[in-house]
């Protein structure tokens, strides 16, 4: 059984170990794989493991031995699942490994926006402390969150985690999900239709998956329905947001700030309009990556593959 890992981050693995996979077959781990290398590297392997490398219908066509694609992530939009289904290729994702980490990171983005800790920490190193003739710490205003309203779009595992942490800071939570669920009220949140959530939230956190129906859901029209000075958080998938529209809203002040761990094209392109917005806080898709989550990710990935091999 040949197992090919297309993006195993071998150059900088941290404490990731591929030992669990080694025990299950003949393992080849690549650091990263470019689009034109994908089919050649998979070759006649039966098992493909990917994190962000896309597996298209064309790749499945060129590599007819594939029987299983393990996605080392929660979101599985990197795989053409419809094409996989037609070819009887099993696809597994790992929905639970990073729920706490990703919720925590959404709140970390929010807290950075509300406190500018990175900025103030640098200012102290430049010799500044509270008021100076040429500088004042409240040029970077601090924002109290208690009593403010967070709207969570996509009230699944991560959305609920973000909501719970927000509630623990005294925020009210409005929840919108494609599937309304009586549990929302049990969680102390109020269900809101999308238009109501957009109009009433001081902070909007995106936690729904990227589907054709959700792509570009934050755009000129939906931003216009939001409160002036809203904060937008996205550590789900970048393409949920039309980035040019968000950049314009950040420049006009309609959106006070955005905290993004994901962008539409990753790694981020130099001409991404959000890069020139000082009120846009961007991190390189790392919400998933605390040491504890990565260990859980690898353990579950091996467990999933074993379960597949055992039928």
Give me the active site residues, please. 237, 266, 285
Find the binder of ligand NAD among 69, 71, 204, 208 (CB under 6 A): 208
Find the binder of ligand NAD among 2, 52, 128, 157 (CB under 6 A): 157
Which C-beta is closer to ligand NAD: that of 140 or that of 211?
A: 211
Find the binder of ligand NAD among 38, 69, 78, 158 (CB under 6 A): 158
Q: Does 304 bind ligand NAD (CB under 6 A)?
A: no
280-282 and 2-5 as β-strands: parallel, antiparallel, unpaired?
Answer: unpaired
Residue with tokens 């947001």: 241
Binding piece for ligand NAD, criterion CB under 6 A, among 29-37, 81-89, 98-106, 294-302: 98-106
Which C-beta is closer to ligand NAD: that of 18 or that of 155?
A: 155
In order of 20, 96, 301, the CA distances from 307 in angstroms are 13, 17, 10
Find the binder of ligand NAD among 20, 54, 75, 216 (CB under 6 A): 75
Q: How far is the CB of 275 from ligand NAD (least distance, A)?
A: 18
Q: How far is the CB of 40 from ligand NAD (least distance, A)?
A: 28
Binding piece for ligand NAD, criterion CB under 6 A, among 5-13, 93-101, 223-231, 246-254: 93-101
Find the binder of ligand NAD among 98, 151, 238, 259 (CB under 6 A): 98
Helix axes 157-168, 99-115, angle to 10 degrees: 40
Find the binder of ligand NAD among 156, 227, 232, 272 (CB under 6 A): 156
Q: For residues 170-199, which are near ligand NAD according to CB under 6 A? A: 176-179
> Taking CB positions, which residue lies at the least distance from ligand NAD?
156
CB-CB contact of 149 with 201 (8 Å): yes
Binding piece for ligand NAD, criterion CB under 6 A, among 38-46, 206-214, 252-260, 268-276: 206-214
Q: Does 164 bind ligand NAD (CB under 6 A)?
A: no
Binding piece for ligand NAD, criterion CB under 6 A, among 109-117, 137-145, 229-237, 273-281: 229-237
Q: How many residues bind ligand NAD (CB under 6 A)?
A: 32
Helix (H), strand (E), coil (C) string for the chain: CEEEECCCCCCCCCCCCCHHHHCCCEEEECCCCCHHHHHHHHCCCCEEEECCCCECHHHHHHCCCCCEEEECCCCCCCECHHHHHHCCCEEECCCCCCHHHHHHHHHHHHHHHHHCHHHHHHHHHCCCCCCECCECHHHCCCCCCCCCEEEEECCCHHHHHHHHHHHHCCCEEEEECCCCCCHHHHCCCEECCHHHHHHHCCEEEECCCCCCCCCCCECHHHHHCCCCCEEEEECCCHHHECHHHHHHHHHHCCEEEEEECCCCCCCCCCCCHHHHCCCEEECCCCCCCCHHHHHHHHHHHHHHHHHHHCC
Q: For residues 232-291, which are near ligand NAD according to CB under 6 A? A: 235-237, 261-262, 285, 287-288
Q: Which positions lie near ligand NAD, rule CB under 6 A?
A: 74-75, 95, 98-99, 102, 153-159, 176-179, 207-211, 213-214, 235-237, 261-262, 285, 287-288
């Amino acid at each position: 059984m040949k197992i090919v890992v297309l993006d195993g981050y071998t150059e900088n693995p941290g404490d990731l170990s591929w030992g669990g996979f080694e025990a299950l077959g003949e393992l080849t781990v690549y650091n990263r794989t470019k689009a034109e290398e994908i089919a050649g590297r998979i070759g006649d392997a039966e098992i493909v493991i990917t994190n962000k490398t896309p597996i298209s219908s064309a790749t499945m066509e060129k590599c007819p031995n594939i029987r299983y694609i393990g996605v080392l992530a929660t979101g599985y939009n990197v795989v053409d699942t419809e094409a996989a289904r037609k070819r009887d290729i099993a696809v597994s994702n790992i929905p639970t490994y990073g729920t706490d980490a990703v919720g925590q990171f959404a709140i970390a983005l929010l807290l950075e926006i509300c406190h500018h800790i990175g900025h103030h920490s640098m200012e102290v190193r430049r010799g500044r402390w509270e008021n100076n003739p040429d500088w004042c710490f409240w040029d970077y205003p601090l924002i109290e969150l208690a009593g403010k309203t967070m709207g969570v779009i996509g009230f699944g595992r991560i959305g609920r985690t973000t909501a719970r942490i927000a509630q623990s800071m005294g925020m009210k939570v409005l929840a919108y999900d494609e599937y309304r669920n009586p549990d929302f009220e049990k969680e102390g949140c109020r269900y809101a239709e999308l238009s109501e959530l957009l109009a009433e939230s001081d902070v909007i956190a995106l936690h729904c998956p990227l589907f054709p129906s959700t792509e570009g859901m934050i755009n000129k029209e939906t931003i216009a329905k939001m409160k002036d000075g809203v904060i937008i958080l996205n550590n789900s998938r970048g393409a949920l947001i039309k980035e040019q529209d968000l950049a314009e809203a950040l420049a006009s002040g309609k959106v006070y700030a955005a905290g993004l761990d994901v962008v539409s094209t990753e790694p981020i392109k130099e001409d991404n309009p959000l890069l020139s917005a000082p009120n846009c806080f961007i991190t390189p898709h790392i919400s998933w990556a605390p040491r504890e989550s990565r260990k859980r990710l690898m353990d579950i990935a091996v467990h999933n593959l074993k379960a597949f091999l055992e039928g």
